[in-house]
Amino acid sequence: MNNRQGNKKISLILVLKALEQMSDMAHPVSQIHLVKMVNDIGGVLDCDVWCDRKTVGRHIKLLIAAGYDIVSVKRKGYYLNKNEFTKAESETLINLVKNSKLDELEKMRLQKKLIAQQSNVNMKKLKQYLKK
């Protein structure tokens, strides 16, 4: 495969991963930056990945069509709108589960599920909160 072909399936996944890990409402990522990240990661992984700005644009359109909530910010880039609970929302839900009439096994299962849905930043704080 020539250098300009690359593996488009892998580049699609890398665009999604970059948006998941590197973007949020306050930090949209430009197409040019996504191109650089995908091509750099492809080089590091020694896999046949190459994309350009147009390819990233097509990948973003495809991801949106597949149901990902990707938001475009004019002249800034894109971010993946993550529908995670805030720390306060999670704590409230955990308290509701703790004080519910469910059996203890079901309470633990739901609490773990709530914690698993949080970003890495909130995980440590939520685990500490559960120990209270």
Please report whether residue 1 resides in a domain: no
> Can you give the pLDDT at residue 41?
83
96 CB burial (10 A radius; 0-12, 13-18, 19+): exposed
Say whether both 20 and 43 belong to one domain: yes
Residue entry with tokens 């949080």: 118
> Can you give the pLDDT at residue 8?
78
Domain count, the chain: 2
List the domain range (segments joined by +) for residue 70: 8-80
Rounded CA-CA distance 33/80 in Å is: 15
Say whether both 12 and 71 belong to one domain: yes
What are the pLDDT tens digits along the chain (132 aa)?
444 556 778 889 999 989 988 888 889 999 999 999 888 887 787 777 888 999 999 999 999 998 889 999 999 999 998 766 667 777 888 888 888 898 999 988 888 877 776 654 455 555 555 565
> Can you give the pLDDT at residue 54?
94
Say whether both 66 and 98 belong to one domain: no
